């Protein structure tokens, strides 16, 4: 059965990755696992938010395939690259109890993702049926989704900070989603770091102007900042943390 | 008029009315010139195209089709005539489903079903269908009274390896009852509307066009092909309405029996429309009616065993034990012994079993010794590669990799039900003796988890043997052997096709190497791989041999007079339709383009893979087009008659990267060109012919300075 695919997108600095981690934590704690978490933003570190170590990314497998001549343990001559990728995929999957994490890794220049994307897509397609949810932390361009490496998105959550410019950026992302015909079943806006958990009128106006569908507002919170600063996984802030509470209520509106 | 024909006509007329209205509405809304097409197919509206030869490309083409549809509904009280009306329902369903795709819409994106099945998927199903790996196709439609009854039937098909398509509420019912779905699990939800059933009908129809080379418009030949060669049948669940009955009539016209779960009494048509009210009997009766024989596997283990479990993933949380090369020494090895050296069915475990608290992590050597009068060292890797599949067939066991790089997981569920290493040995023994009985007389299986012993086997036996095999494989050339082989595995689908398999040219499906063919000849002496003595050379350049021609003519029953081994222009080898890649001429560049099945875009020839592929296949010889396996691209024999691999000017990036290493090596050896693939254009550089040419000129591509290819 196809899992429900939730994609979280927004520009850097909006707290998108933290929210992504909190969504995963929320689903796991509500007994909605297993979840496949996918870090598709090379500039974020979803693993730190979740508190797991990354040893190998899909990008590393790609490098291994691409530069195989220059490394000591070259491909076994009897294996096709597809078979080898299938074997290596298990190494790149970081496995937990309720969720597993897959890190897409960095891109290396234009165009070079083509071949490996094909074989990786085949593996992701094979694995995804084992999960109830796929939660993807995306870079702003949603490249892995638009290129079809990651499956069709059911729920797209745009994250913005509580500024007009932040909302405008989310508006541009929504525009791109429409242009590229990604057709998610639903696309919603979450505004993060709102002082006192409230939005002032100017921002509300901008949301309307951008044609965005506001799902929820999360307050600014010191505890999360402190966790992050101390290098503790911010998805593990206490349950009664105001951001977590607000997120729970927000997600309840879309039955998550 | 009989009640049955009444029902059929009522359904057909209803669908005709709906289709007509939908076509008129669509034309009113979008205009007659608005294009309409199913995604990723070269066969237009396949049912209409195959039955009438009409190519539907725009809405304006459809009113005429509605006319044809109506003409099929005679309303005469005759069962044969009524079955024709069933075909009309199929045409109507195709039109209704096709209209969902108007304007490039993606109607199934947010549906549980997949809707239209693209051509490449059908081509990929060719091999498992002809090998009997998929023994049949079940179409399950309707709404069951109880989820559990439905799930029992579907899981039974799954266990037997059949491919099951679901239409209607049964999709949600199967999901609710925990049936695993997807192509990997061989259960494919099509859609909730009853018209979605057309998507499996067009699979059967396109099989006739792709593999059977049935000329479009030859309805009689089409019906003969589907009846004789597509092993499909229909199961309906729940009450029938007239639309389902008339769709069923269409299925019967195609030769697919319909088994319903309500009592039809004397409305039943023996052999075609049958009531089976007790679901316990549904599967057996269905298989019997369609004459599908499933190999009865009776392995005495506590878990399920079927190819349908191959896609199963075992997460770490659900895992009891793991054997993983990254953590412990591992290997898989099949070795040939003399008959008196081993004891048949001696199954041994050396070292600790998987008992204990999870995760149990152990080394593993899967050490299989076989002996037989007809056994040859060349068959060792053929058997060894099967271990991967056999382990995966066990419910609760996941296997990836081969040789000394493996990861095997055993689930907690399997462990709790009692699965132990001895059972894995049992499976290997059973399967070796089952599949390789003609060459293996004795088999002894040892599973070793003792670290020192695994390391010893790895060092002293496995690694030297792997190296020796690789050396042997690398040294095999067309010149170094005196026998080639035919492969006619696909003839059950493509009766006039035969592959000629040589060491440097494997079967075009990519699945049969010369060593495989050689082993197949030994395993099934009268089977699909027959030896061809390499004699009677006519032309060394094109690879033409009198003996090849003679044998090919014989095995294709005269359909093919002659083929060459190395030319794409002079009597090129034919294909069945399940090729991995297709090669076509790009005359303005003096070269060829190669495109793989997975690539959906346009090529510089102005055609997609599907369109190129539809030019050949079905055993038709089309100079300038050739289907082949990925592996063949780097062969020194690749279109050697036309100048070899230096003629390749364009490939999709993905394919280029896949074959780059070996292709560059070949180009270096043959022509002294370094990094040849850098000179080959791809879709990220250009697709439009002028731009491709410009790129080739910039790179100084060798094809440009060769004599014209045609």
**pLDDT of residue A110 exceeding 80:** no
A111: nearest CB among B175, B185, B684: B684
Are A126 and B110 an interchain contact pair (Cβ–Cβ within 8 Å)? no
Do the Cβ atoms of A111 and B311 come within 8 Å? Answer: no
Ramachandran angles phi, psi of B419, nearest 5°: -70, 130
Contact of A183 with chain B, judged by CB distance below 8 Å, is answered with yes
Q: What is the pLDDT of residues B79-88, one digit of tens each?
A: 889 999 999 9
Nearest CA in chain B to A113: B654
Best A77, A86, A98 residue to mutate vs chain B (most B CBs within 10 Å): A77
* Residues B377-402, mean pLDDT to the nearest whole number: 91
Q: Cβ contact (<8 Å) for A114 and B653? A: yes
Report CB contact under 8 Å: B313, A69. no
What was the pLDDT predicted at B666? Answer: 93
Is B354:B421 a contact under the CB 8 Å cutoff? yes
Considering only CB atoms, A34 lies closest to which of B180, B315, B470, namely B315
CA distance B22 to B571: 47
* Residue A118 host element (H or E): helix A114-128
Chain segment B7-27, per-residue pLDDT in tens: 999 999 999 999 999 999 999
Instruction: Provide mean pLDDT across the span A193-212.
Output: 91
Q: Name the A residues in 113-132 with CB < 8 Å from any B CB.
A: 114-118, 126-127, 129-130
Residue A56 structure tokens:
């190998």
Instruction: Return d(Cα A15, Cα B58) in angstroms, integer.
Output: 48
With CA atoms as reference, the chain A residue closest to B599 would be: A118
Query: Do B443 and B370 meet the contact criterion of CB atoms below 8 Å apart?
Result: yes
Say how far apart CA B94 and CA B38 lie, in whole Å: 10
Measured over all CA atoms, what is the biggest interatomic distance in chain B, rounded to whole angstroms? 82
Interval B153-170: pLDDT, tens = 999 898 888 999 999 999
Q: How many CB atoms lie within 10 A of CB B341?
A: 11
In this predicted structure, the answer to whether residue A81 has a pLDDT above a threshold of 70 is no
Res B610 pLDDT > 70: yes
pLDDT value at B90 more than 70: yes
Which element (helix H / strand E) includes B140?
strand B137-142
Confidence of residue A69 (pLDDT cuts 50, 70, 90): very low
Point out the residue among B405, B473, B598 whose CB comes nearest to the CB of A118. B598
Return the pLDDT at B109: 84
Chain A residues close to B658, C-beta within 8 Å: 81, 115
Q: Note whether A70 contacts B: Cβ–Cβ < 8 A.
A: no
Residue B168's pLDDT is what?
95
Using the CB atoms, write b or e for B628-647: b if 16+ within 10 Å.
Answer: bbbbbbbbebbbbbbbbbbb
Among B407, B661, B684, select the one facing A87 at the smallest CB separation.
Answer: B407
Which of residues B467 and B46 earns the better pLDDT score?
A: B46
Neighbours of B598 (CB within 10 A): 17
Domains and CATH numbers, chain A: 4-252 (3.40.50.300)
Contact B38, B45 (CB under 8 A): yes
Distance CA B486, CA B531 (A): 6
Interface test with A, best of B312, B400, B476, B633 (most A CBs within 10 A): B400
Query: What contacts B108, CB < 8 A, 6 or more positions away?
Result: B114, B115, B116, B191
**CA B140 – CA B121 distance, rounded (Å):** 20
Mean pLDDT in chain B? 91
pLDDT at A70: 31
Helix or strand holding residue B483 (H, E): strand B483-487
Predicted confidence (pLDDT) per residue in B172-206, tens digit: 999 999 888 888 889 999 999 999 999 999 999 99
The residue behind tokens 């209209």 is B99
Nearest by CB to residue A86, choosing from B109, B112, B400, is B400
B180 contacts in chain A (CB < 8 Å): 1, 129
- Selecting from A34, A76, A126 the residue whose C-beta is nearest the C-beta of B405 gives A76
Q: Which residues of B make CB contacts under 8 Å with A? A: 106, 109-110, 112, 175, 180-182, 184-185, 311, 313, 315-317, 324, 326, 381, 400-407, 466, 469-470, 473, 598, 652-658, 661, 682, 684
Closest-CA residue of chain B to A1: B181
Chain B residues touching A114 at Cβ < 8 A: 652-654, 657, 682, 684
CB contact under 8 A, A114 and B652: yes
pLDDT digits (tens, 9 = 90+) for B266-302: 889 998 999 999 999 999 999 999 988 776 566 888 8
- For residue A67, is pLDDT > 60? no
Mean pLDDT of the B580-601 span: 91
Q: How confident is the model at residue B309 (pLDDT cuts 50, 70, 90)?
A: confident
| Nearest-Cα residue of chain B relative to residue A95 | B316
Nearest chain B residue to A68 by CA distance is B661
Instruction: Give residue A75's pLDDT.
Output: 61
What is the C-alpha to C-alpha distance for residues B199 and B96, in angstroms, rounded to an integer? Answer: 12
- Going by their DSSP bridges, the two strands B397-402 and B273-275 should be labelled as unpaired
- Whether the ω angle into residue B438 lies within 30 degrees of 0, i.e. cis, is no
pLDDT band at A107 (very low <50, low <70, confident <90, very high): low
The confidence band for A42, taking pLDDT boundaries of 50, 70 and 90, is: confident
Residue B463 has pLDDT above 50, yes or no: yes
Residue at token pair 């709906």 = B18
Q: Does A1 touch chain B (CB under 8 A)?
A: yes
Pick A130's closest partner by Cβ from B315, B407, B661.
Answer: B315
- Residue B527, pLDDT above cutoff 60: yes
Collapsed DSSP state (helix, strand, coil) of residue A119: helix
Instruction: Work out the minimum CA distance from A103 to partner chain B, whole angstroms.
Output: 17
Is A69 in CB contact (< 8 Å) with chain B? yes
DSSP state of B688: S
């Amino acid at each position: 059965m196809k899992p429900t695919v939730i994609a979280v997108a927004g520009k850097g600095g909006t707290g998108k990755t933290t929210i992504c981690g909190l969504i995963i934590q929320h689903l796991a704690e509500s007994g909605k696992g297993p979840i496949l978490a996918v870090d598709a933003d090379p500039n974020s570190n979803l693993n730190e938010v979740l508190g797991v170590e990354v040893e190998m990314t899909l990008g590393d497998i790609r490098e291994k395939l691409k530069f195989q001549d220059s490394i000591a343990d070259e491909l076994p001559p009897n294996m096709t690259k597809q078979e080898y990728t299938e074997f290596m995929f298990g190494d790149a999957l970081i496995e937990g109890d309720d969720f597993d994490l897959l890190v897409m890794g960095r891109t290396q220049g234009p165009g070079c993702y083509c071949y490996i994307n094909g074989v990786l897509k085949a593996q992701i397609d094979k694995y995804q049926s084992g999960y109830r949810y796929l939660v993807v932390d995306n870079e702003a361009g949603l490249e892995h989704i638009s290129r079809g490496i990651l499956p069709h998105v059911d729920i797209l959550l745009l994250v913005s900070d509580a500024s007009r410019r932040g909302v405008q950026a989310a508006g541009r992302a929504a525009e791109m989603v429409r242009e590229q015909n990604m057709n998610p079943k639903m696309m919603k806006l979450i505004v993060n770091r709102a002082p006192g958990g409230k939005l002032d009128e100017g921002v509300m106006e901008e949301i309307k102007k951008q044609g965005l569908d506001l799902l929820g507002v999360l307050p600014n919170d010191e505890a999360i900042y402190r966790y992050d600063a101390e290098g503790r996984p911010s998805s593990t802030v206490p349950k009664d943390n105001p951001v977590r509470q607000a997120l729970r209520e927000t997600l309840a509106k879309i039955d998550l | 008029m009989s009640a049955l024909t009444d029902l059929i006509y009522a359904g057909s007329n209803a669908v005709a009315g709906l289709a007509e209205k939908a076509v008129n509405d669509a034309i009113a809304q979008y205009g007659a010139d608005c294009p309409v097409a199913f995604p990723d197919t070269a066969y237009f509206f396949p049912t209409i195209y195959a039955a009438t030869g009409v190519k539907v490309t725009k809405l304006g083409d459809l009113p005429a089709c509605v006319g044809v549809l109506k003409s099929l509904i005679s309303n005469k009280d005759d069962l044969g005539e009524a079955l024709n009306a069933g075909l009309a329902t199929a045409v109507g369903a195709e039109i209704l489903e096709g209209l969902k795709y108007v304007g490039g819409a993606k109607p199934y994106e947010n549906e549980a079903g997949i809707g239209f099945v693209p051509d490449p998927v059908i081509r990929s199903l060719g091999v498992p269908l002809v090998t009997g790996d998929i023994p049949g196709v079940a179409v399950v439609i309707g709404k069951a009274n109880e989820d559990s009854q439905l799930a029992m039937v579907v899981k039974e098909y799954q266990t037997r390896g059949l491919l099951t398509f679901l239409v209607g509420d049964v999709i949600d019912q199967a999901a609710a009852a925990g049936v695993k779905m997807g192509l990997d699990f061989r259960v494919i939800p099509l859609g909730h509307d009853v018209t979605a059933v057309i998507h499996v009908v067009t699979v059967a129809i396109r099989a006739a066009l792709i593999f059977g080379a049935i000329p479009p418009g030859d309805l009689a030949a089409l019906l003969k092909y589907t009846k004789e060669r597509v092993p499909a049948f229909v199961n309906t669940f729940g009450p029938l309405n007239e639309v389902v009955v008339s769709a069923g009539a269409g299925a019967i016209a195609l030769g697919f029996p319909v088994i319903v779960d309500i009592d039809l009494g004397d409305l039943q048509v023996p052999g075609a429309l049958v009531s089976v009210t007790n679901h316990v009997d549904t599967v057996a009766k269905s298989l019997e009616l369609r004459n599908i024989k499933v190999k009865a596997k009776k392995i005495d283990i506590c878990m399920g065993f079927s190819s349908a479990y191959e896609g199963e993933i075992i997460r770490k949380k659900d895992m009891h034990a793991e054997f993983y090369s990254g953590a412990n020494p591992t290997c898989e090895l099949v070795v040939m012994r003399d008959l008196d050296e081993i004891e048949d069915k001696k199954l041994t475990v050396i070292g600790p079993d998987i008992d204990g608290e999870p995760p149990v992590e152990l080394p593993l050597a899967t050490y299989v010794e076989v002996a037989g009068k007809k056994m040859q060292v060349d068959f060792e890797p053929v058997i060894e590669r099967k271990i991967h599949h056999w382990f995966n067939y066990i419910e609760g066991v996941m296997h990836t990799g081969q040789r000394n790089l493996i990861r095997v997981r055993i689930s907690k569920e399997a462990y709790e039900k009692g699965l132990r290493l001895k059972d894995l040995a049992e499976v290997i023994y059973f399967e070796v003796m089952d599949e390789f009985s003609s060459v293996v007389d004795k088999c002894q299986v040892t599973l070793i988890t003792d670290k020192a012993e695994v390391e010893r086997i790895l060092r002293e036996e496995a690694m030297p043997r792997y190296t020796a095999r690789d050396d042997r494989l690398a040294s095999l050339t067309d010149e170094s052997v005196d026998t080639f082989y035919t492969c006619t595995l696909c003839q059950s689908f493509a009766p006039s096709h035969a592959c000629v398999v040589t060491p440097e040219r494997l079967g075009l499906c990519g699945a049969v190497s010369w060593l495989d063919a050689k082993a197949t000849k030994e395993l099934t002496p009268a089977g699909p791989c027959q030896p061809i003595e390499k004699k009677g050379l006519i032309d060394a350049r094109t690879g033409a041999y009198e003996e090849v021609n003679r044998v090919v003519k014989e095995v294709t029953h005269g359909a093919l007079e002659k083929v060459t081994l190395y030319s794409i222009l002079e009597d090129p080898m034919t294909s069945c339709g399940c090729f991995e890649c297709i090669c076509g001429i790009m005359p303005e560049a003096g070269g060829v383009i190669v495109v793989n099945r997975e690539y959906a875009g346009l090529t510089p020839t102005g055609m997609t893979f599907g369109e190129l592929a539809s030019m050949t296949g079905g055993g038709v010889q089309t100079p300038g087009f050739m289907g082949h396996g990925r592996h063949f691209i780097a062969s020194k024999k690749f279109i050697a008659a036309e100048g070899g691999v230096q003629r390749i000017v364009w490939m999709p990036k993905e394919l280029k990267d896949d074959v780059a290493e070996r292709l560059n090596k070949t180009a270096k050896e043959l022509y002294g060109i370094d990094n040849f693939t850098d000179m080959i254009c791809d879709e990220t550089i250009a697709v439009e012919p002028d731009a491709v040419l410009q790129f080739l000129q910039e790179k100084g591509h060798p094809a440009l300075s060769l004599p014209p290819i045609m």
